[in-house]
Chains A and B, each alone.
Chain A
């Protein structure tokens, strides 16, 4: 009896799962462009994980006999100056670029967002010391941001040597101010909202309000910015490699692939540079669209706001409800 139940339940639950997924997709109201972007996004993640394994040819072994072959059936996108198959290297390259950009951006957020909360929450605080901390962070930021991003990253990489760890650190460092400023700006607006005052009234400390109540409300713009920054970080990494201050060949990386093919573009062999550039464009573009989609869905009421005719600040209401709950528990 039970066995039959399970046997019956399984397909039912599977279709139920599918239906739920379909409902979710419908509820999200994805545009065709967003659907395409999400699919490509999945492909990029897949390549970042398994790319080097599914490459049909070795990705780091030179073969002088196959130098600069035009695209053909054996080599779909041709071969590069070292006789390596470009299609294979293209499958393997996203791992390097996406990994560096994602880890670096993650670091930027981890450092930038908390500092942004502190800077924003304490700016103009009645207590002198707190206000000074906020002010100090911002003035320091002015100095960091006066440096030209690209050169700054290059100098940082040059100091420690060009390897993955140092490139990640440099890219993370130059992108950190973006998140600090963004979160600070959001917190400056949010801290005067009724729910923030309510949080104070029920006895939260400054830091609790900042991190537990204000930061989560700054999430939607933060997510959009993260995806934009990942895209920028990918371009930055590729740019560093292009001028020889990033990932060096033979490691497959889109920037150094373009760089290696650059001089052949002028002599007429267009394929070594063309395809990695297209790949870069697609990756950056996809991250941008996916970020905007997720940001829209995260926006309180973003899924249904249109027909309700306005965006109710669900997040803020939730925060107030949480606090009331908390207060009840305490008293």
Chain B
């Protein structure tokens, strides 16, 4: 109940935030060099034709009117028209957003299933030979991973696992050349392929995701891992842990108490990283040619293609703000102190 009210208030705050975001984007985009009408028609087109197109695109109107026209179209779900690809931006997004979300989703899943347990194990005192070895390895990992450029690591993995070992497919996109995409249901190729029973497509999609997902989780899991390890170490050194151990509680239970206290900063870090990745995954997308939304935006920027950039920034901002909302809600659920201060 309380959490519902809190969520509602945050959602209401979203509206002015998004309006402001759209205004800032709009102004920024209009400052990009190049006359879009001229860009579309080419340098040899007659002047009259360019003028006509400017009128059609409302580029001859003052900026506020351009903005209001843009907002009106937005409300009707019209993200505009890409004049480089000659395509509808909404349908482009429908194809490309799932590609990026698939990459980020699996990447963060790996972080959740591998990095977090590792952090908990390596934060604990003592342990056998395996644990000590893990500690050594992960110490090096924590130092190194944050410093490696993701695009370079992707290239390196391609060289090792595709060029030399032939274990994985090359950087040719989301599917093999001869594989037809599964029927569009969610846009996530792996899920769609499973839903339609298209195992050939599933194998291909999964194989093409392995290296990008490993790259992403290796590089962007590092700050999450480090945060989890340090908060967990602090929690395990606390008085309540000593007390719990003194009571003779089972080991997993002690770890669970400590983890609950250690997790809020980790949740925040998760949120920050996933918010960053929607645009930040662009380098991984480029290296593996995944045709994600970041790659789409980069192409649009280099060709002065206004509509896709605007759409991308808006989608990314909405996504980021929603992620932060979810993070705050989880935080609210885990940490009773937050509840107390938010009420006051």
**Which residues of A are interface residues toward B (Cβ below 8 A)?**
33, 142-143, 145-152, 154-156, 158-159, 161, 231, 235, 238-239, 242-245, 255, 258, 262, 265-268, 270, 273-274, 276-277, 280-285, 288-289
Give the distance to chain A from B94, nearest Cβ to Cβ, in Å. Answer: 19
Chain A residues whose C-beta falls within 8 Å of the C-beta of B159 in the assembled complex: 265-266, 270, 274
Using CB atoms, name the residue of chain A closest to B151: A242
Give the distance to chain B from A264, nearest Cβ to Cβ, in Å. Answer: 10
Chain A residues whose C-beta falls within 8 Å of the C-beta of B32 in the assembled complex: 155, 158-159
Q: What mask results when residues 64 to 75 of chain B are scored 1 for a CB within 8 Å of chain A, else 0?
A: 000000000000
Can you sample 8 A-B contacts with CB below 8 Å? A147-B313, A148-B280, A149-B276, A150-B294, A158-B301, A277-B155, A284-B147, A288-B147
Q: What mask results when residues 304 to 337 of chain B are scored 1 for a CB within 8 Å of chain A, else 0?
A: 1000010011001100110000000000000000
Asked if residues A155 and B301 are in contact (CB atoms below 8 Å), the reply is yes
Q: Which of A149, A235, A281 lies in contact with B279, CB distance below 8 A?
A: A149
Q: A258-B152, A268-B163, A280-B152 are in contact. Are A159 and B31 (CB under 8 A)?
A: yes
Using CB atoms, name the residue of chain A closest to B24: A143
Q: How far is the CA of A276 from the CA of B275 in the complex (A)?
A: 28
Chain B residues whose C-beta falls within 8 Å of the C-beta of A159 in the assembled complex: 28, 31-33
Interface core residue of A146, A147, A239, A285 (most chain B CB under 10 Å): A146
Q: A148-B316, A158-B301 are in contact. Are A281 and B28 (CB under 8 A)?
A: no
Interface of B is mostly: helix
Count residues of B near A (Cβ-Cβ below 8 Å): 49
Q: How far is the CA of A101 from the CA of B273 in the complex (A)?
A: 21
Chain A residues whose C-beta falls within 8 Å of the C-beta of B254 in the assembled complex: none
Q: How far is the CA of A108 from the CA of B279 in the complex (A)?
A: 21
Asked if residues B163 and A265 are in contact (CB atoms below 8 Å), the reply is yes
Q: How far is the CA of A130 from the CA of B181 in the complex (A)?
A: 58
Given A243-B298, A258-B152, A277-B153; 14 other pairs, CB 8 A cutoff? A146-B316, A147-B24, A148-B316, A150-B283, A159-B28, A231-B147, A239-B151, A258-B155, A266-B159, A266-B163, A266-B171, A281-B149, A284-B147, A288-B143
Asked if residues B158 and A266 are in contact (CB atoms below 8 Å), the reply is yes
Asked if residues A151 and B279 are in contact (CB atoms below 8 Å), the reply is yes
Chain B residues whose C-beta falls within 8 Å of the C-beta of A150 in the assembled complex: 279-280, 282-283, 294
Q: Which of A155, A266, A267, A288 lies in contact with B28, CB distance below 8 A?
A: A155
Interface core residue of B33, B147, B170, B294 (most chain A CB under 10 Å): B147
Asked if residues B20 and A143 are in contact (CB atoms below 8 Å), the reply is yes
Chain A residues whose C-beta falls within 8 Å of the C-beta of B162 in the assembled complex: 266
Q: A158-B302, A239-B151 are in contact. Are A146 and B282 (CB under 8 A)?
A: no
Using CB atoms, name the residue of chain A closest to B16: A139
Chain A residues whose C-beta falls within 8 Å of the C-beta of B152 in the assembled complex: 258, 273, 276-277, 280-281
Interface of A is mostly: helix
Q: Which of B143, B151, B276 lies in contact with A148, CB distance below 8 A?
A: B276
Query: Which residues of chain B (58-92) have a CB below 8 Å from chain A?
Result: none
Q: A161-B33, A266-B170, A285-B147 are in contact. Are A148 and B279 (CB under 8 A)?
A: yes
Using CB atoms, name the residue of chain A closest to B23: A143
Q: How far is the CA of A289 from the CA of B317 in the complex (A)?
A: 33
Chain A residues whose C-beta falls within 8 Å of the C-beta of B21 in the assembled complex: 143, 146-147
Asked if residues B298 and A154 are in contact (CB atoms below 8 Å), the reply is yes
Q: How far is the CA of A114 from the CA of B323 in the complex (A)?
A: 29
Using CB atoms, name the residue of chain A closest to B279: A148
Say whether B176 faces chain A, with CB atoms less than 8 Å apart.
no
Say whether B236 faces chain A, with CB atoms less than 8 Å apart.
no
Chain A residues whose C-beta falls within 8 Å of the C-beta of B156 in the assembled complex: 265, 274, 277
Q: How far is the CA of A298 from the CA of B304 in the complex (A)?
A: 47
Chain A residues whose C-beta falls within 8 Å of the C-beta of B235 in the assembled complex: none
Which 10 residue pairs across A and B have the least CB separation, nearest first? A148-B279, A277-B152, A285-B147, A284-B147, A146-B317, A151-B279, A148-B316, A159-B31, A281-B148, A265-B155
Chain A residues whose C-beta falls within 8 Å of the C-beta of B301 in the assembled complex: 151, 154-155, 158, 245
Q: How far is the CA of A238 from the CA of B147 in the complex (A)?
A: 12
Say whether B297 faces chain A, with CB atoms less than 8 Å apart.
yes
Using CB atoms, name the residue of chain A closest to B317: A146
Asked if residues B279 and A239 are in contact (CB atoms below 8 Å), the reply is no
Chain B residues whose C-beta falls within 8 Å of the C-beta of A288 in the assembled complex: 143, 146-147
Say whether B244 faces chain A, with CB atoms less than 8 Å apart.
no
Q: How far is the CA of A32 from the CA of B152 in the complex (A)?
A: 28
Chain B residues whose C-beta falls within 8 Å of the C-beta of A245 in the assembled complex: 298, 301-302
Q: How far is the CA of A152 from the CA of B282 in the complex (A)?
A: 12
Interface core residue of B24, B143, B151, B316 (most chain A CB under 10 Å): B151
Using CB atoms, name the residue of chain A closest to B287: A262
Chain A residues whose C-beta falls within 8 Å of the C-beta of B31 in the assembled complex: 159
Chain B residues whose C-beta falls within 8 Å of the C-beta of A152 in the assembled complex: 279, 313
Q: How far is the CA of A270 from the CA of B164 in the complex (A)?
A: 11
Say whether B241 faces chain A, with CB atoms less than 8 Å apart.
no
Give the distance to chain A from B298, nearest Cβ to Cβ, in Å. Answer: 5
Chain B residues whose C-beta falls within 8 Å of the C-beta of A161 in the assembled complex: 33
Q: How far is the CA of A76 from the CA of B267 in the complex (A)?
A: 46
Q: How far is the CA of A284 from the CA of B146 in the complex (A)?
A: 8
Say whether B144 faces chain A, with CB atoms less than 8 Å apart.
yes
Chain A residues whose C-beta falls within 8 Å of the C-beta of B120 in the assembled complex: none
Query: Which residues of chain B (1-43) have a CB below 8 Å from chain A?
Result: 17, 20-21, 24-25, 28-29, 31-33
